[in-house]
């Protein structure tokens, strides 16, 4: 995390000191080091190594530098004991935690980078004897086999305010607390309110040395295996996230690895734990929810612009945004839906490539070819609330073009198959097969062709849509005006929809009403047209969108909420019909008897063809 919170993978200076010390090792000591050692000696050396490591961490060293320095000191201590000891008492051997091959090459190979494992406060290493000295090899032993580190004393707000501990001891306590999930859950501000936790974290962040130590510890915490998330099945296991999410430095770009790693751990929580996260966040204030929204947006922006973070972290943060979006849509509205749009995604992203990786595209593949995607293989199209209307329109265009190509390809393949079969059976044609020739040809056509009269565009189009199958509707649309020359290369199709819109908005048509305040359309419940006519108009409008034709037709957001089967509120009514919304809002705020004062009941009256029509809003609304 830069020069404050990043964990370097190697320390050249410490490695050189260790290498020089190894090369000066006495041959007799090296020979003696191959002698077996007791379990007590191994345990003592392991404990000594851990003690050295924690002392070095408290001085401000990064974890990997502390590992290298602790190994160097441990070797020096072991070698000194071996040189001064008697022959009857063989020198103590370095602890062997895991079997490792003896290195027989004349010079030791460079040690691989040492990774900090969050399951233990110190990296687990194998100390292997060799002719040239002691070589540290990262172990691959599962974390479940490791002995959990002892729990540190509780880190409380009172302790931080008392200044009873020295900086060195406080560094040790901070690192032990923030580097391990169990310690975060149990020892980090136990029983504190959110306000107290915020105060405690602010005190730590205000001290440069402690802030650096806390950053290193959190880096170790997020590097733990994601499979650990499946072990957290109790609400108390989420305390670690509640603490870290209050960290005042989450906006610091240096903390982007912490934000991304934490999001990845939260992504792999089971459904019950994610429900607990939703419930917790639903109780936050609007300011708190906006803060989380801004933290996640900043991470996505930095990740896309800098292009240095892993995609699994990026999509894990998008999943946290999804939880906030669900709260905004279902629990409590704390911002406009446009607040979830991410500018970097909509300006920097290659949408065509993203669409090709999305679930929207993969659903078109045969079931036998569908596979479970990894977190890093997701797509921004899987989180559509991040995309603005222009990006969504482009994605829909990509999807429509792909479906059209697939449908045309299938029609051409069917045409070839039908032509082959018909050539072998022309001598056996019957009247019934002859009468169905026109329908068969329509199915084999690579386009959906609507033939309409200019004077009767709407009824002619609707009549043909009734007869069209779903597969035919997925074909590219072409329009032919009967009695007119010309090939539809796009212009005829646009003219067709312009005529459609003009007729739909004609008051004589009577299917829609226009609101004078918002200039949006609403359905005329007293229209003489049947519900089937409305359905066909919907299909026609869907064809326009599917074929990339922009319509000058405006519906209020309430219509789209109904299409999405979302609940409608008074705010939606105010947005679509302001006059009605204001009247209802005034009735809600009136404390007196509405019926006696305003002569209002649960009925609504409106004018139809010069007559007043009254409808009960509830049974027996009078």
- Say yes or no to pLDDT of 127 above 50: no
Q: Which fold has domain 406-419+439-555?
A: Hect, E3 ligase catalytic domain fold (3.90.1750)
- Nearest-angstrom CA–CA distance, 243 and 262: 11
SS3 483: coil
What are the backbone angles phi and psi of residue 452, rounded to the nearest 5°?
A: -130, 155
The DSSP code sequence of 330-395 is II---S-GGGG--HHHHHH--HHHHHHTSHHHHTTS-GGG--PPPGGG--GGGSGGGS-HHHHHHH
Reported confidence tier of residue 12, pLDDT bands at 50, 70, 90: very low
- Nearest-angstrom CA–CA distance, 39 and 42: 5
Sign for the pseudo-dihedral over CA of 115, 121, 126, 127: positive
Reported confidence tier of residue 508, pLDDT bands at 50, 70, 90: confident
Instruction: With beta carbons less than 8 A apart as the criterion, state whether 382 and 359 touch.
Output: yes
SS3 525: coil
What are the backbone angles phi and psi of residue 228, rounded to the nearest 5°?
A: -60, -25
Q: What is the pLDDT of residue 185?
A: 95
Q: What is the pLDDT of residue 94?
A: 39
pLDDT higher for 438 or 99? 438
| Rounded (10°) CA dihedral 323, 325, 330, 336 | 160
Sign for the pseudo-dihedral over CA of 20, 22, 23, 26: positive
pTM over 0.75: no
Q: What is the pLDDT of residue 33?
A: 41
Where do runs of H (alpha helix) occur along 547-622?
557-563, 570-576, 578-589, 594-598
- 406-427 pLDDT per residue, tens: 887 877 776 666 555 554 444 4
Reported confidence tier of residue 119, pLDDT bands at 50, 70, 90: very low
Q: What is the pLDDT of residue 307?
A: 65
* 3-state secondary structure string across 83-140: HHCCCCCCCCCCCCCCCCCCCCCCCCCCCCCCCCCCCCCCCCEEEEEECCEEEEEECC
Residues belonging to the chain: 622
Q: Which residues pair with 136 in a beta bridge?
A: 127
Reported confidence tier of residue 60, pLDDT bands at 50, 70, 90: low
- Say yes or no to pLDDT of 193 above 70: yes
Domain boundaries of the chain, sorted by first residue: 2-101+108-145, 157-386, 406-419+439-555, 570-616
Mean pLDDT of 512-532: 83
H or E stretch covering 477: strand 477-481
Mean pLDDT of 110-122: 35
Residue among 78, 86, 73, 94 nearest 26 (CA): 78
SS3 155: strand
Mean pLDDT of 123-147: 37
Residue among 602, 581, 6, 498 nearest 258 (CA): 6
Residue 524 CB neighbours (<10 A):
16
Number of H helices, E strands in the chain: 29, 8
- 366-418 pLDDT per residue, tens: 654 556 788 888 999 999 999 999 999 899 889 888 888 888 787 777 666 65
């Amino acid at each position: 995390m830069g020069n404050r919170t990043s964990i370097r993978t190697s320390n050249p200076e410490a490695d050189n000191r260790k290498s020089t010390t190894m090369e000066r090792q006495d041959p007799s000591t090296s020979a003696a080091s191959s002698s077996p050692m007791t379990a007590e000696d191994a345990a003592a050396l392991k404990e000594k190594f851990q003690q050295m490591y924690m002392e070095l961490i408290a001085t401000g060293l990064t974890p990997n530098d502390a590992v290298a320095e602790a190994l160097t000191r441990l070797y020096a201590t072991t070698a000194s004991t071996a040189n001064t000891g008697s022959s009857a008492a063989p020198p103590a051997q370095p602890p062997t935690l895991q079997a490792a091959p003896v290195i027989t090459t004349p010079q030791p190979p460079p040690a691989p980078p040492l990774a900090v494992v969050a399951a233990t406060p110190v990296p687990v290493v194998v100390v292997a004897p060799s002719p040239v000295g002691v070589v540290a090899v990262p172990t691959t032993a599962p974390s479940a086999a490791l002995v959990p580190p002892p729990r540190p004393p509780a880190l409380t707000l009172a302790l931080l305010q008392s200044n009873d501990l020295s900086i060195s001891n406080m560094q040790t306590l901070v690192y032990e607390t923030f580097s391990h999930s169990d310690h975060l859950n149990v020892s980090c501000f136990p029983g504190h309110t959110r306000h107290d936790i915020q105060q405690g974290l602010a005190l730590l962040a205000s001290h440069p040395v402690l802030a650096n130590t806390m950053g290193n510890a959190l880096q170790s915490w997020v590097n733990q295996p994601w499979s650990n998330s499946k072990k957290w099945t109790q609400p108390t296991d989420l305390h670690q996230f509640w603490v870290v999410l209050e960290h005042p430095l989450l906006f610091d770009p240096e903390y982007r690895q912490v934000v991304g790693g934490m999001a990845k751990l939260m992504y792999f929580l089971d459904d019950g734990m994610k429900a607990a996260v939703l419930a917790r966040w639903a109780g936050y204030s609007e300011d708190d929810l906006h803060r989380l929204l801004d933290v996640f947006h900043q991470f996505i922006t930095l990740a896309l612009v800098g292009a240095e973070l892993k995609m699994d972290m990026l999509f894990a943060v998008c999943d946290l945004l999804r939880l906030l979006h669900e709260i905004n849509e279902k629990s409590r509205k704390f911002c406009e839906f446009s607040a979830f749009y991410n500018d970097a995604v909509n300006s920097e992203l290659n949408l065509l490539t993203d669409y090709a990786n999305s679930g929207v595209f993969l659903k078109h593949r045969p079931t036998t070819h569908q596979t479970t995607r990894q977190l890093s293989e997701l797509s921004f199209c899987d989180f559509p609330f991040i995309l603005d209307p222009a990006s969504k329109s482009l994605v829909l265009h990509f999807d429509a073009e792909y479906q059209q190509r697939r449908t045309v390809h299938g029609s051409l393949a069917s045409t070839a198959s039908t032509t082959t079969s018909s050539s072998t059976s022309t001598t056996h044609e019957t009247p019934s097969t002859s009468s169905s020739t026109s329908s068969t040809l329509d199915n084999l056509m690579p386009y959906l062709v609507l033939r309409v009269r200019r004077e009767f565009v709407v009824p002619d189009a609707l009549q043909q849509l009734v007869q069209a199958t779903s597969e035919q509707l997925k074909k590219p649309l072409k329009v032919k005006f009967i009695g007119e020359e010309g090939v539809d290369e796009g212009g005829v199709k646009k003219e067709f929809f312009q005529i459609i819109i003009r007729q739909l908005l004609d008051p004589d048509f009577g299917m829609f009403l226009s609101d004078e305040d918002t200039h949006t359309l609403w359905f005329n419940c007293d229209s003489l047209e049947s519900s089937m006519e409305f359905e066909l108009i919907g299909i026609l409008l869907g064809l326009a969108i599917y074929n990339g034709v922009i319509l000058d037709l405006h519906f209020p957001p309430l219509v789209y909420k109904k299409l999405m089967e979302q609940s409608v509120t008074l705010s939606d009514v105010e947005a679509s019909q302001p006059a009605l919304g204001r009247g209802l809002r005034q009735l809600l705020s009136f404390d007196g008897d509405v019926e006696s004062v305003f002569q209002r009941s649960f009925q609504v009256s409106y004018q139809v063809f010069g007559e007043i029509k009254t409808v009960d809003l509830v049974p027996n609304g009078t």
